[in-house]
Amino acid sequence: MYYVVTGACGFIGANLVKGLNERGISDIIAVDNLTKADKFRNLTDCDIADYLDKSEFLSLVESGQLDGDIEAILHEGACSDTMETDGRYVMANNYRYSLALLDFCQEQEIPLLYASSASVYGGGSVFSEEREFEAPLNVYGYSKFLFDQIVRRRLANADSQIAGFRYFNVYGPREQHKGRMASVAFHHFNQYQASGKVQLFEGYGGYANGEQRRDFVYVGDVVKVNMDFLESRISGIYNLGTGRAQSFNELAAATVNACRALEGKPAQSVAELVAQGIIEYIPFPDALKGKYQSFTEADLSQLRGVGYKSAFAPVEEGVADYVQWLAR
């Protein structure tokens, strides 16, 4: 019996493969689309049983050739570019693909753990897993939102576990292939290494320079939640963040100070870093106006309510660990 991880060469998918390995599981079918071939590097320190292209995998699913062979599917595969404007492409990759796997998992009576997104909440200020707070701002968010609605309809009569996780701003190892869609922590590390400075957006939407706030969650914590749910077999749709919004200024300072620690230099405050020009502010992009979440903070009531008790790393802790990994 095999575990399937879709999007296995991607950021969260590769970390889940590594997480399964660390729990003694190597009978893993890694599924992805390697049109961007460099993503393979994310799996070079992982053990898998086989690799399948997404189209080949779907063909095997639909033909019944995988019937009885799969233990569980961890579905991370998607178009994750929130600026993608080809709606047909996004809906095919995110909605239809997910729907096919949902049908398969229910027919086979096996768990489906899948990636939803905090983008379903759009520009709202309440981040609770209820329909009244969901209003996505882009087609990526809509694709995740629509699949969540299907899952909600099916949960009451589900024959096996269906668990969706609304990821907030995830950062950490194995995201280098994402380019501009990589986390702010990744970009800040590289900016600091190249120029000794990091850049943040100026104020927008009532927020001061760099004070837009997000729920930044370390990928190691994302893996822990997924592994816990694989064991518990609990179903539902859950926010997956830290439950604490932190500013981009705090994130920048955490990244710079982690880099400074590697240089044997003391930590400095945001004000000190700004005064020295190490943190600098750039104009807010016109292309993001009206499409930008200036504040996110996961309501963890439902996650905690089903028994997940582990703490989540604040950016000061998670970024320090990440910078150590980046600097290897």
CA distances to 68, 75, 274, 322 from 206, rounded to whole Å, are 54, 37, 20, 31
Side chain identity at residue 17, one-letter code: V
In 3D, which of 220, 233, 246, 214 has the Cα closest to residue 109?
A: 233
Q: Is 140 a catalytic residue?
A: yes
Q: Choosing from 114, 140, 142, 218, which is the catalytic residue?
A: 140
Question: If DSSP codes are grouped into helix, strand and coil, which group holds residue 173?
Answer: coil
Cβ proximity of 296 and 205 under 8 Å: no
Element (H, E) at 194: helix 184-195
Roughly how many angstroms between the first and final C-alpha of the chain, as a whole number? Answer: 35
Cβ proximity of 140 and 88 under 8 Å: no
Q: Choosing from 2, 51, 54, 178, which is the catalytic residue?
A: 178
In 3D, which of 184, 198, 164 has the Cα closest to residue 292?
A: 184
Q: Is 171 a catalytic residue?
A: no
Side chain identity at residue 280, one-letter code: E
Catalytic residues: 140, 178
